[in-house]
Structure formats: structure tokens, C-alpha cells
């Protein structure tokens, strides 16, 4: 019996004579049936051609110009591979039907449908943009034509008519919390596109590495990991066999190094913080309502978004000064003047880190002004727009984990344990991510950076004093 004995979905068939496909970096061909092409060709999906995968990262890594469109096609192709591997298991085949397979394939293809320009950058802002629509929430609005619709049949209609997929179920699998999914099969399908070792991560780690010219995200054994896929004891979540343990450890380490060296590279964080601060300045001066904000973000790509911000910002405003450093003829990214990682023992550092992470938007802004005034004591006025406190998002504190299924050598019952329980490497990755990679930064305009850095520890001590004074 093979994977297709109980499942008859043409999208799982491989490349063949006359079958359409799309070529993706690096030397990957993804087969596309006529009905999948109908979804891909819909304007709501084509919009993703103008949305870069990594936002402002191109300002640091010139190759980071690939798009959400390419990534979504890659996740669709990877989801196919996940299903082909999982369906070798008779128990998995018995738990799924054709509709389940079609649904998760479309979830892989459309999981980023709601992405807007710089979505992760703006969503990661520290408690600043409460009215900003989350990209997961926009999926439903776009599917049903309530946002970004350009006429013709909605994407929901296309899914129902061509793919025989329920749009509401699709939305739930993409955006709902796991605990809100009542059916075990829906929880399993969600784990294929959103879990520790999901198809989304497998694609973006590899794809981002290819485009950026770095090795970090593609050092794991892809084939070994795919071949080790299985399900957990309850049958409602992705798991791996013990044969895939090393591959899983390396995969999680790849994610760790991509955050350390790319996604949270200090210069990438600087560019992201500058975009956040400029956007905050503009919408504070002229607050849009929620509907106008959504329409605006869905109407443009990354370059258009930056151009529109620049056209709105007066040269002397915070936004104007910041955007000149990003879009002008000379790149002027803010420099790191101070950095505070999550401390393990030092109570003084604990106060600084804890205080920064607990501040709301107004407290952060007030502190930036106080720090600017204090830094002006070192020989040259530091303006209120010259200081940015960069605080990473709080949703990355938990490192993903996965169940490892170990078969008894004597043919007894299988054992199910989390990778973090059996792997000191995995625990170490989680520890180093929280206490090393994830840090707060004090960013300063480059025209002040060299002078203040040369002033030594006194500058940083003064900054820390302001932070602790704010706590009082």
C-alpha cells in the first residue's frame, strides 16, 4: 500500500509530461495543477509579488529582495512533501481524507496572504500600533473580499468552486489558536504549517539563506527530516521518529543562527526600528481609522510604502530624518550604543532589562527624550529623534519544541517525549536564544555614534542611570 491508496488528490502527484510547474531557487520545481494555478493567479495572491519576504533586511543583505509570493509557493511545495511523507503511515492515512489534504495544501499556499509591507517589522513594535491589523487576521478579510478586493470572484469563491475547500475552515487552521480547533485532524493540519518543524520554517530558513548568500538556514539534513516525520501519541500534532532527532536538533540550531546572524542582526534591527519609529511619527500626527489603514497597507508594496511615507514626512520631522537614512542617496542606519541581554544573575542588569521590557509606548518615548538630553552633555546636542530604544517582540520567548517517537527494540509500546527532554542541545539553544540573541538595544544617529562611543563607559552608565531613574 502506498500513500495514495486512500487519498486521491492530483496535487500530490509528481512532475510528469505536460504538467505545469514553477521553478524556484534553489533548483526546485513545484508542480501546479490547473485548479491550484487558478488560486495562484487570483489578484489577492498576486499582490504578494510586491511584498518582500524580509522587509528592511535588504538594507543590510542586498539579496534579501525575494517576496512573500515566492515563499508561499515554496511552502506549498514543502507542504506537498510533508503530506507525501506522512501519508506513508497507515494511521495517518486513516485519519485524513481528500478534503483534509486539499485544505492543508491551500493553508500552506495562503498562510501569508494577509502580509502587508513590513508587516513583521510593524507588528513587532513594542506596544505601539494597537490598531495595526495582524497579517493572520487579514487572511479572512482578503479571502472574502472585504479588504483589498479588486473586483471579480473572491478568493473564497475560487477555493470553494475549484479546490472544494471550506474557506472558514482554512481561516481557522491558518489563524486560530491550537486550543480553539476542536477536531484532532485540524490540529494536525495546523501543525504541518505552524509548529516547531513546520513546512513554513523549512521553506523560509532554506530560501532566505539562498537569497542572502549565507549558509546558516540550510545546514540541516532536509531529506532525513522529511523521512522522519510522524505524528504524536494523540495523532493531532506533527512529530518525528528517533531517527530524525539529530536532524531536528540541527534544524532548530539553524533557526537560532538565522535569528542571531540575519533576522536580529544588529543592523537589521536598526533598520527595522527606524521604519517603526518613522511610521509611528506619521500616524501619530495624522491618525488613520482602521479601515483606511488596512486599505492603505494592502494597496502598496514595500518600495511604494516607503515612498509614500517619505512624501508625507516633512524633512525636519522625526519621520523625515529617519526615512532619509533609509531611502536617501546615502544609507545612514542608526548605530548601536548600548545593548542589554536578558540577565541571569546581575540584579542591576535585571532592573534595566525588566524595566525596558515593561514600558509602554509613552514611557519609551519619554525615556528616549531624557537619554537624548543626557547624551547632549558630551559636547554636541543630540536631538529627540536621534535616539531609539529597540525592544524585540515578546512573542519569541518560547523556543519551539517537537515530540520524538521512540520505538521499543523488542516491539513493545512506543514512547513519546519532547525533544527538549531528551536533548541537552535543544535546551542549550533555547537558553542561549533568550539570554544572548534576544536583547535590548540603544540606537543612536550615526553622526553622534563615533563621538559617544569614544567617550567610553561613562556614556553607557549615564544612559543606564536614566533608565533606572525612570523606574522610580
Q: What is the pLDDT of residues 404-460, one digit of tens each?
A: 999 877 667 889 999 999 999 999 999 999 888 889 999 999 999 999 999 988 999
pLDDT of 1 reads: 37
Q: How confident is the model at residue 19 (pLDDT cuts 50, 70, 90)?
A: confident
Assess contact for 445 and 334: CB atoms under 8 A: yes
Q: What is the pLDDT of residues 260-307, one digit of tens each?
A: 999 999 999 999 999 999 998 888 888 888 788 888 899 999 999 999
CA distance 250 to 309: 41
Q: What is the DSSP string of 318-358?
A: HHHHHHHHHHSSS--PPEEEEEEEPPSS-HHHHHHHHHHHH
Given a cut of 80, whether residue 128 has pLDDT beyond it is no
pLDDT of 130 reads: 62
Given a cut of 80, whether residue 2 has pLDDT beyond it is no
Percent of the chain with pLDDT over 90: 73
Count of beta carbons in the 10 Å neighbourhood of residue 137: 13
Q: How confident is the model at residue 397 (pLDDT cuts 50, 70, 90)?
A: confident
CA distance 99 to 110: 16
CA distance 388 to 277: 8
- Helix 184-193 × helix 98-110 angle, to 10°: 30
Q: What is the mean pLDDT of residues 172-183?
A: 96
Given a cut of 80, whether residue 129 has pLDDT beyond it is no
Q: What is the pLDDT of residues 218-268, one digit of tens each?
A: 999 999 999 999 999 999 999 999 999 999 999 999 999 999 999 999 999
- The mean pLDDT of the chain is 91
Amino acid at each position: 500500500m502506498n500513500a495514495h491508496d486512500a487519498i486521491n488528490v492530483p496535487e500530490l502527484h509528481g512532475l510528469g509530461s505536460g504538467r505545469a510547474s514553477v521553478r524556484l531557487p534553489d533548483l526546485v520545481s513545484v508542480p501546479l495543477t490547473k485548479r491550484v494555478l487558478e488560486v495562484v493567479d487570483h489578484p489577492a495572491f498576486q499582490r504578494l509579488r510586491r511584498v518582500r519576504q524580509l522587509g528592511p533586511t535588504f538594507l543590510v543583505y542586498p539579496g534579501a529582495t525575494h517576496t512573500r509570493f515566492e515563499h508561499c509557493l515554496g511552502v506549498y511545495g514543502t507542504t506537498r512533501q510533508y503530506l507525501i511523507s506522512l501519508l506513508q503511515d497507515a494511521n495517518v492515512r486513516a485519519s485524513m481524507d481528500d478534503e483534509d489534504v486539499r485544505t492543508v495544501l491551500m493553508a500552506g499556499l495562503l498562510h501569508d496572504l494577509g502580509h502587508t509591507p513590513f508587516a513583521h517589522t510593524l507588528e513587532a513594535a513594542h506596544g505601539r500600533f494597537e490598531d495595526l491589523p495582524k497579517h493572520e487576521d487579514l487572511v479572512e478579510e482578503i479571502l472574502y473580499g472585504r479588504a483589498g478586493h479588486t473586483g471579480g470572484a473572491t478568493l473564497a469563491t475560487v477555493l470553494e468552486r475549484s479546490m472544494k475547500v471550506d474557506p472558514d475552515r482554512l481561516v481557522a487552521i491558518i489563524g486560530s489558536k491550537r486550543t480553539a480547533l476542536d477536531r484532532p485532524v485540524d490540529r494536525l493540519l495546523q501543525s504541518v504549517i505552524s509548529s516547531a518543524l513546520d513546512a513554513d520554517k523549512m521553506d523560509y530558513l532554506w530560501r532566505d539563506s539562498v537569497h542572502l548568500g549565507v549558509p546558516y538556514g540550510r545546514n540541516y539534513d532536509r531529506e532525513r527530516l522529511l523521512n522522519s516525520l510522524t505524528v504524536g501519541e494523540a495523532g493531532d500534532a506533527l512529530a518525528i521518529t528517533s531517527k530524525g532527532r539529530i536532524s531536528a536538533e540541527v534544524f532548530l540550531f539553524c533557526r537560532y543562527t538565522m535569528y542571531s546572524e540575519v533576522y536580529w542582526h544588529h543592523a537589521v534591527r536598526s533598520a527595522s526600528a527606524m521604519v517603526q519609529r518613522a511610521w509611528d511619527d506619521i500616524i501619530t500626527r495624522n491618525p488613520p481609522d482602521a479601515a483606511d489603514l488596512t486599505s492603505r497597507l494592502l494597496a502598496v508594496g514595500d518600495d511604494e510604502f516607503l515612498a509614500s511615507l517619505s512624501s508625507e514626512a516633512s524633512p525636519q520631522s522625526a519621520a523625515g530624518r529617519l526615512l532619509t537614512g533609509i531611502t536617501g542617496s546615502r544609507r545612514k542606519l542608526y548605530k548601536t550604543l548600548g545593548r542589554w541581554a536578558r540577565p541571569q544573575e546581575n540584579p542591576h542588569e535585571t532592573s534595566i532589562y525588566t524595566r525596558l521590557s515593561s514600558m509602554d509606548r509613552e514611557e519609551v518615548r519619554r525615556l528616549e527624550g531624557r537619554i537624548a538630553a543626557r547624551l547632549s552633555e558630551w559636547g554636541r546636542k543630540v536631538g529627540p529623534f536621534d535616539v531609539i530604544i529597540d525592544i524585540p517582540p515578546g512573542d519569541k520567548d518560547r523556543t519551539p519544541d517537537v515530540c520524538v517517537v521512540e520505538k521499543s527494540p523488542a516491539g513493545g509500546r512506543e514512547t513519546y517525549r519532547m525533544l527538549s527532554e531528551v536533548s541537552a542541545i535543544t535546551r542549550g539553544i533555547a537558553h542561549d536564544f533568550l539570554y544572548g540573541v534576544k536583547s535590548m538595544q540603544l540606537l543612536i544617529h550615526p553622526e553622534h555614534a563615533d563621538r559617544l562611543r569614544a567617550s567610553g563607559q561613562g556614556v553607557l552608565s549615564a544612559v543606564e542611570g536614566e533608565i533606572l531613574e525612570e523606574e522610580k
